[in-house]
């Protein structure tokens, strides 16, 4: 027996209205949209659970993607932001204990940002 879901009913309802509708494509797109909405809700709940706003999460996410350590200029490039904007984000994250800034061990003009435990 074939299992049917909400999307199957959606496609069936629209086939008479749009005879040229490709049911495979419509089904796939509709399922992807429902999955996207679900994942957005899960992400938003995670932000609430960890008391983070989206900007803080995005900054930590980019930092984690660089192995947990990066220069502010690298984060600015990854986030497509002006360096001053990243400085403000890092100030807030550092005050909350999520990151720490330390002098670079390889370049005394540079500061490294690290995710804390």
pLDDT in tens, 19-59: 899 999 999 999 999 999 999 999 899 899 989 999 999 99
Q: Is residue 74 domain-shared with residue 95, that is, in the same domain?
A: yes
Is the residue at 1 inside a domain? no
- Structural domain of residue 26, as residue ranges? 6-49
Cα separation, 83 vs 80, whole angstroms: 9
Per-residue model confidence (pLDDT) at position 94: 96
Residue labelled with tokens 């061990």 = 105
pLDDT band at 108 (very low <50, low <70, confident <90, very high): confident
Q: Is residue 29 domain-shared with residue 61, that is, in the same domain?
A: no
Cα separation, 114 vs 71, whole angstroms: 9
pLDDT band at 104 (very low <50, low <70, confident <90, very high): confident
Q: What is the rounded average pLDDT of the residues 106-116?
A: 91
Helix %, strand %, coil % for the chain, to 5? 60, 10, 30
pLDDT tens string 58-76: 999 999 999 999 999 999 9
> What's 110's domain CATH number?
1.10.10.10
């Amino acid at each position: 027996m074939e299992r049917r879901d909400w999307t199957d009913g959606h496609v069936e309802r629209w086939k008479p209205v749009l005879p040229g509708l490709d049911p495979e494509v419509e089904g796939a797109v509709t399922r992807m949209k429902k999955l996207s909405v679900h994942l957005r809700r899960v992400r938003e709940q995670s932000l609430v659970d960890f008391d983070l706003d989206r900007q803080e999460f995005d900054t930590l996410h980019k930092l984690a993607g660089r192995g947990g350590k990066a220069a502010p200029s690298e984060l600015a490039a990854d986030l497509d932001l002006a360096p001053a904007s990243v400085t403000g984000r890092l100030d807030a994250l550092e005050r909350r204990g999520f990151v720490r800034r330390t002098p670079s061990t390889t370049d005394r003009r540079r500061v490294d940002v690290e995710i804390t435990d």
